[in-house]
Chains A and B, each alone.
Chain A
Amino acid sequence: MESTFNIKETLRNFKRRLPMILIMTLLFIVLSGVVSYTLMKPIYQASTQILINQNGSTAEFNTQNIDANIQLISTYNVIIKSPAILSGVIEELKLNETVKTLNEQITVSSTEDSQVVTIDVEDPSMERAVLIANTTASVFKEEIQNLMKVDNVNILAAAEMPVTPEPIKPDPLLNMAIGAVVGFMLGAGLSILLDQLNTTIRTEEDIEEIPGLQVLGIVSPVKDDKKAKKPSVYIQKREMMENVEKDKIQSVSTTKIGGTY
């Protein structure tokens, strides 16, 4: 096996196998499209925003205060996802889920240097996602008073049920794009593999590589324009040969040659 990797040769090979590569690409696009539209369950997302604010008499807006709030928010982020809150949510909504699975559905995030915390809930049902998001916020609002003896959580924007819910997952377009890339790469890889496995003589260079041999010339494949005609002519001929006496064959064959060629 030659170890030389010829880019030009590889490109030529790609060009020759372009139909296969294109078919592979299309196949994977269709496949990922079908899978994401039919097999994958849509996941919806609802989000509730809460504002955390140090209220009371010292509610002056100075930098120190806000800094303290922000540190507080990091703590709150953890508290929201703690079993203390989540089990309350499960209890209130009578969910079948465990704290752990609910924990995976909820994402808590806060924009940098702000006091706003966003609770994102992902669920196969839009309705349930809205419900969980809002309940989590309200349970948290109540529980924080017990836990930290402060009342500084306000619900800024409750999650709402949209008229036409748009699932966030799966994204068929993204999946199809990934499918296209994967399909193309598989096709290209396969064509390289097939090329490497093919050890037949294909170009004049293949022969010239063998010492002691030179190429005298090439012969192109003959285009078969009388495909249907030729075999039948031959069959008739053979049948004749069996029946006709041998002296007559000579004359028959000479006329045949003049006639057919």
Chain B
Amino acid sequence: MLKKIKSNRSVPRKLVVRTNSNSVITEQYRTIRSNINFSLPSEDMKTILFTSPSKEEGKSTTSSNMAIVYAESGKRVLLVDADMRRPTLHHTFKMSNRLGLSNLLIKKGRLQDTVKKSGIPGLDLLMCGQIPANPAELLDSEAMDGLMNLMKEKYDLIIFDSPPILAVTDSKILANKCDGTVLVVNTGKTEKENVIKARDALTTAKAFIIGTVLNNYQVSKKDDYYQSYTS
């Protein structure tokens, strides 16, 4: 257990979609992409938030991989690390976290200078930046609203990676501002009760819950019908 937590902090998130574009898991992310598209009520929904009830359930992994899958589909995607408590996006893409969202929110620098090219066509990244003392206030500010409008002008889709919803209030603020929220749930680890609490928290924040992603789901060999198609 201890070992697991330790490794989770230091090891970068796995970009399966990037490393193996034919894998079963990539196909699963593509399925989620399609399902999100089907679930969205209108075409002009541009901001999607990824959150989870508790920590280490796969928000960052899911949002990063989803961003790549969306970029693959020809959209201009911006992936924002809005987890200003424990940012991970710079680890995942192995980049510097010197400039990012926090700098933009205190009105230092411009969006076009701060975003970084991911190396994947169509996908730009916005790191967290220096960890601020008051993330919730920053996210709730007018600067954030302005920034989101600016993002919507420049990109087709903005994906936010956020802190756990039951731990801090940041995600509720973001969920309220975003067009849709996806709840990431870790199979066999997330308590059912916490999922219900998270749903209630999102409902209170007047967020639109698109649905949930079951992470770490061990598909039994019997009903694994993807496998025969792709491998």
Which of A's residues lie within 8 Å of B, judged by CB? 198-202, 204, 206-207, 210, 212-222, 230-231, 234-235, 237, 241, 246, 249-250, 253-254, 256-258, 260-261
Tell me whether A210 and B195 are in contact (CB under 8 A).
yes
Main secondary structure, interface of B, reads mixed
CB neighbours (8 Å) of B24 from chain A are: 220
Contact of B214 among A201, A241, A258 (CB under 8 A): A201
Tell me whether A219 and B94 are in contact (CB under 8 A).
no
The CA-CA distance from A230 to B91 in the complex, in Å, is 11
A-B contact pairs, 26 of them (CB 8 A): A200-B187, A200-B189, A202-B188, A204-B217, A206-B192, A207-B214, A210-B196, A212-B203, A213-B212, A216-B182, A216-B210, A216-B213, A218-B219, A219-B28, A219-B62, A220-B28, A220-B217, A220-B219, A221-B218, A222-B61, A241-B96, A246-B98, A249-B96, A253-B94, A257-B93, A261-B119
A199-B191, A200-B191 known; A219 and B29 CB under 8 Å? yes
Tell me whether B183 and A261 are in contact (CB under 8 A).
no
Which of B's residues lie within 8 Å of A, judged by CB? 7, 10-12, 14-16, 18-19, 24-25, 28-29, 31-32, 35-36, 39, 58, 61-62, 65, 91, 93-96, 98, 117-119, 182-183, 185-193, 195-196, 199, 203, 209-219
The CA-CA distance from A234 to B6 in the complex, in Å, is 14
Tell me whether A214 and B195 are in contact (CB under 8 A).
no
The CA-CA distance from A202 to B36 in the complex, in Å, is 22
CB neighbours (8 Å) of A241 from chain B are: 96
Tell me whether B188 and A237 are in contact (CB under 8 A).
no
Tell me whether B11 and A207 are in contact (CB under 8 A).
no
The CA-CA distance from A202 to B95 in the complex, in Å, is 35
Tell me whether B10 and A218 are in contact (CB under 8 A).
no
The CA-CA distance from A206 to B195 in the complex, in Å, is 10
Contact of A213 among B12, B31, B191, B209 (CB under 8 A): B209
Nearest 4 CB-CB pairings of A with B: A217-B32, A216-B211, A218-B217, A214-B211
The CA-CA distance from A86 to B70 in the complex, in Å, is 95
Contact of B35 among A201, A217, A221, A231 (CB under 8 A): A217
CB neighbours (8 Å) of A219 from chain B are: 25, 28-29, 32, 58, 62, 65, 213-217
Tell me whether B214 and A215 are in contact (CB under 8 A).
yes
Counting chain B CB atoms within 10 Å of each CB, which of A218, A246, A253 scores highest?
A218
CB neighbours (8 Å) of B94 from chain A are: 234, 237, 253, 256-257, 260
The CA-CA distance from A200 to B190 in the complex, in Å, is 5
Counting chain A CB atoms within 10 Å of each CB, which of B10, B11, B61, B212 scores highest?
B212
A249-B96, A250-B96 known; A217 and B199 CB under 8 Å? no
Which partner residue on chain A sits nearest B91 by CB separation? A234
Which partner residue on chain A sits nearest B193 by CB separation? A199
B100 to chain A minimum Cβ distance, whole angstroms, is 14
Tell me whether B119 and A257 are in contact (CB under 8 A).
yes
Tell me whether A246 and B96 are in contact (CB under 8 A).
yes
Contact of A222 among B14, B119, B191 (CB under 8 A): B14
A116 to chain B minimum Cβ distance, whole angstroms, is 65
Which partner residue on chain B sits nearest A2 by CB separation? B192
Tell me whether A212 and B214 are in contact (CB under 8 A).
no
Contact of A199 among B29, B58, B183, B192 (CB under 8 A): B192
Tell me whether B18 and A261 are in contact (CB under 8 A).
yes
The CA-CA distance from A35 to B199 in the complex, in Å, is 55
CB neighbours (8 Å) of A215 from chain B are: 211-214
CB neighbours (8 Å) of B16 from chain A are: 222
A216-B36, A219-B58, A257-B119 known; A204 and B12 CB under 8 Å? no
Tell me whether A221 and B216 are in contact (CB under 8 A).
yes
Known pairs A215-B213, A220-B25, A234-B91. 15 more at Cβ < 8 A? A200-B190, A201-B186, A207-B185, A210-B196, A216-B35, A216-B210, A217-B28, A217-B213, A218-B213, A219-B217, A220-B28, A231-B7, A234-B94, A249-B98, A250-B96
A39 to chain B minimum Cβ distance, whole angstroms, is 38
Counting chain A CB atoms within 10 Å of each CB, which of B39, B61, B119 scores highest?
B119
